[in-house]
């Protein structure tokens, strides 16, 4: 344990005062940081006393802890920021206080009569003294899908059953007693960042300290990779393999899906928009040896704002593009027998990974042979989901002459809307202020916005009213609107990107992501000298999991096993004459 951190922890035990009394104000909830929890936080390398955010979470579900049921359509929660929160200290979530925010119920007094289960929670921040002179405080993401409610190092209380009567919530006192642990205990010298995994026969795990990121964030920062090796890798020492860089929202345990429970977040069900038939049979196909022998790599680049950096250099998140391409990729090419020439590198990914696959091709066009973005995050900000950030005055509403309609954020494939932009944004604002929630809107603000005077992202819109800031919108366009950038810079990008972009998206994407792809196709179709020669596939009725038509049966969706063949064929057809196309074919 870091000696300074232990000293601060010991001091916190001395000055903290443990209290078990109930509060006088009805409906208020007191939350105390217990000494065992404070010790557990420090032992995982996090700062005590704590700067962070404390919550009380309410649930009717008796089958899981309230903290595990949070989300835009999940359990009600209320949060308040804490500072210098030491062992024995108590913070009060005071009903109606300006410092307290709640979702979907604004106040504790809004809880209807009934039987509930209640839990307190603490999201622990780390203080960063960045190279740009700003000091920011945010959760140091360990790669745990950026849900603070499941993140190692955060603390929670026992679950308490309560009854709410006509008079409203009772006064309560909860003690944070337990700390979420990593999947396996930290060994000497290990840190939480990017996880710590044991190699398997098929998958190898790499983690390195990044010099550029450590300079930017003012402390040691790490990046890593999951490397899926082909059958026969150890038995064919002369083979050098092309590589598929397969990116996504979260790195998971394997670069490609062994099984849904290993590749996706534990809470995902088979009906989740991210899960689809592309999973079918990949493990068996890969291990059987019948697929082309390539290496598949997924980056682990969780950061203080999100599960992934989006693989680019940004003002708020840092120089992750350079860290990945100049530090991690060369390291991997030294450690594994990977083709180190551009012809042997292909990008792919879905959703967030789709945006990464497109963006790395645009911003690093000399490094890769081609890119297959599927259902990418918005690549044309005239359709940031359903928001036109340039023409709309408000991000929450479709403002017509006499009425204003809430803009949707997520739908079923039959069109049924589950929640709106305003709903999702309100949830994220309750989880954390200053775009630190780890949510989707928060990371887009952190990626695309300039740095504000307080060191945090300048919001594109007012977090309460939704009013769009035109100056920030222009900044987003000029730096991050990929469709706009391709059109603006085609004179230089065209010769490098012609024929290298291959998009696919379902026409019923659950997050309306097909809309920005349509607009991008229109722009690229108008380019010439050279023509873009980009390809676009659209799945009729396809949801967020749709990744393209099967190359053998266009009536169904492509599987990941089939995509490995697509990649090998693409590399073979586009490689230079002197490329090694034989050593990896066995």
User: What local confidence, expressed as pLDDT, does residue 26 receive?
Assistant: 60
How many Cβ atoms are within 10 Å of 98's Cβ, its own excluded?
6
Is residue 47 within 8 Å of residue 82, measured between CB atoms? Answer: no
Lookup result for tokens 């000494």: 35
The pLDDT confidence band at residue 260, using thresholds 50, 70 and 90, is: very low
Burial class for 487, CB neighbours closer than 10 Å (0-12, 13-18, 19+): middle
Mean pLDDT of 201-211: 96
17-26, 291-300, 365-374: least confident range: 17-26
User: What local confidence, expressed as pLDDT, does residue 250 receive?
Assistant: 74
461's enclosing H/E stretch is none
User: What local confidence, expressed as pLDDT, does residue 279 receive?
Assistant: 62
What integer best gives the mean pLDDT of the chain? Answer: 92
Structure tokens at 531: 């023509």
Is residue 138 within 8 Å of residue 128, measured between CB atoms? Answer: yes
User: What local confidence, expressed as pLDDT, does residue 277 receive?
Assistant: 56
Distances from the Cα of 456 to the Cαs of 363, 443, 453, 573, in angstroms? 24, 12, 7, 46
> What is the DSSP-derived secondary structure letter of residue 68?
G
Three-class SS state of 173:
strand
18-27, 28-37, 276-285, 350-359: least confident range: 18-27
d(CA 308, CA 446): 12
User: What local confidence, expressed as pLDDT, does residue 92 receive?
Assistant: 98
d(CA 540, CA 537): 10
Separation of first and last alpha carbons in the chain: 49
User: What local confidence, expressed as pLDDT, does residue 145 receive?
Assistant: 67
Please tell me whether the overall predicted TM-score, pTM, comes out greater than 0.75 for this model.
Answer: yes
Is residue 579 within 8 Å of residue 546, measured between CB atoms? Answer: no
User: What local confidence, expressed as pLDDT, does residue 269 receive?
Assistant: 39
Distance of CA 470 to the CA centre of its chain: 26
d(CA 444, CA 509): 19
Lookup result for tokens 């921040």: 125
What phi, psi does 581 have (nearest 5°)?
-110, 10
What's the fold here for domain 203-380+481-574? Answer: Rossmann fold (3.40.50)
Three-class SS state of 214:
helix
Question: Does the pLDDT of residue 160 top 80, yes or no?
Answer: yes
d(CA 451, CA 319): 14
**291-342 pLDDT per residue, tens:** 999 999 999 999 999 999 999 999 999 999 999 999 999 999 999 999 999 9
Q: Domains of the chain: which residue ranges?
A: 3-179, 203-380+481-574, 384-477
d(CA 424, CA 410): 9
């Amino acid at each position: 344990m870091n000696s300074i951190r232990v000293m601060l922890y010991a001091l916190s035990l001395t000055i903290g005062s443990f209290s078990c009394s109930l509060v006088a104000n009805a409906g208020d909830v007191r939350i105390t940081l217990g000494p065992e929890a404070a010790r557990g936080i420090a032992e995982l390398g996090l700062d005590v006393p704590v700067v962070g955010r404390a919550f009380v979470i309410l649930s009717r579900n008796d089958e899981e802890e309230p903290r595990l049921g949070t989300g835009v359509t999940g359990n009600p929660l209320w949060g308040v920021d804490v500072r210098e929160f030491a062992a024995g200290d108590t913070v009060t979530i005071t009903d109606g206080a300006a410092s307290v925010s709640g979702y979907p119920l604004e106040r504790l007094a809004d809880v209807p009569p009934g039987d509930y289960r209640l839990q307190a929670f603490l999201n622990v921040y780390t203080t960063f003294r960045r190279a740009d002179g700003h000091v920011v405080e945010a959760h140091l993401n360990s790669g745990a899908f950026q849900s603070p409610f499941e993140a190692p190092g955060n603390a929670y209380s026992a679950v308490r059953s309560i009854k709410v009567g006509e008079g409203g919530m009772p006064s309560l006192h909860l003690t944070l007693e337990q700390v979420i642990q990593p999947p396996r205990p930290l060994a000497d010298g290990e840190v939480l960042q990017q996880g710590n995994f044991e190699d398997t026969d098929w998958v190898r795990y790499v983690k390195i300290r990044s010099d550029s990121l450590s300079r930017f964030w003012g402390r040691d920062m790490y990046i890593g990779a999951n490397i899926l090796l082909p059958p026969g890798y150890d038995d064919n020492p002369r083979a050098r393999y092309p590589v598929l860089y397969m990116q996504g929202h979260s790195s998971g345990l394997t670069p490609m899906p062994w099984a849904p429970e290993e590749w996706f977040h534990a809470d995902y069900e088979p009906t989740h928009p991210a899960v689809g038939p592309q999973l079918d049979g990949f493990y068996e196909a890969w291990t059987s040896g019948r697929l082309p022998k390539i290496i598949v790599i997924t980056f682990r680049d969780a950061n203080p704002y999100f599960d992934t950096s989006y693989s680019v250099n940004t003002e708020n998140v840092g120089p992750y593009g350079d860290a990945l391409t100049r530090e991690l990729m060369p390291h991997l090419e030294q450690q594994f027998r990977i083709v180190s020439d551009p012809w042997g590198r292909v990008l792919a990914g879905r959703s967030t990974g789709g945006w990464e696959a497109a963006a790395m091709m645009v911003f690093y066009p000399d490094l890769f042979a081609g890119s297959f973005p599927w259902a990418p995050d918005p690549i044309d900000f005239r359709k940031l989901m359903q928001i036109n950030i340039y023409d709309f005055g408000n991000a929450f509403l479709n403002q017509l002459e006499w009425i204003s309609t809430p803009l949707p954020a997520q739908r079923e494939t039959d069109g049924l809307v589950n929640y709106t932009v305003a709903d999702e944004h309100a949830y994220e604002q309750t989880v954390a202020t200053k775009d630190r929630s780890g949510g989707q809107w928060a990371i887009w603000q952190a990626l695309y916005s300039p740095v504000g005077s307080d060191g945090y992202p300048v919001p594109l819109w007012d977090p309460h009213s939704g009013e769009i800031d035109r100056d920030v919108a222009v900044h987003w366009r000029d730096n991050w609107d990929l469709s706009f950038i391709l059109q603006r810079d085609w004179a230089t990008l065209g010769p490098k990107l012609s024929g290298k972009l291959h998009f696919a998206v379902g026409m019923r994407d659950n997050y309306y992501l097909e809309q920005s792809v349509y607009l991008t196709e229109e722009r690229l179709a108008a380019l010439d000298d050279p023509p873009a020669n980009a390809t676009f596939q659209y799945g009729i009725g396809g949801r967020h999991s749709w990744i393209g038509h099967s190359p053998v049966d266009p009536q169904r969706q492509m599987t990941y096993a089939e995509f490995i063949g697509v990649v090998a064929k693409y590399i073979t057809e586009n490689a230079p004459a002197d490329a090694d196309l034989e050593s990896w074919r066995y």
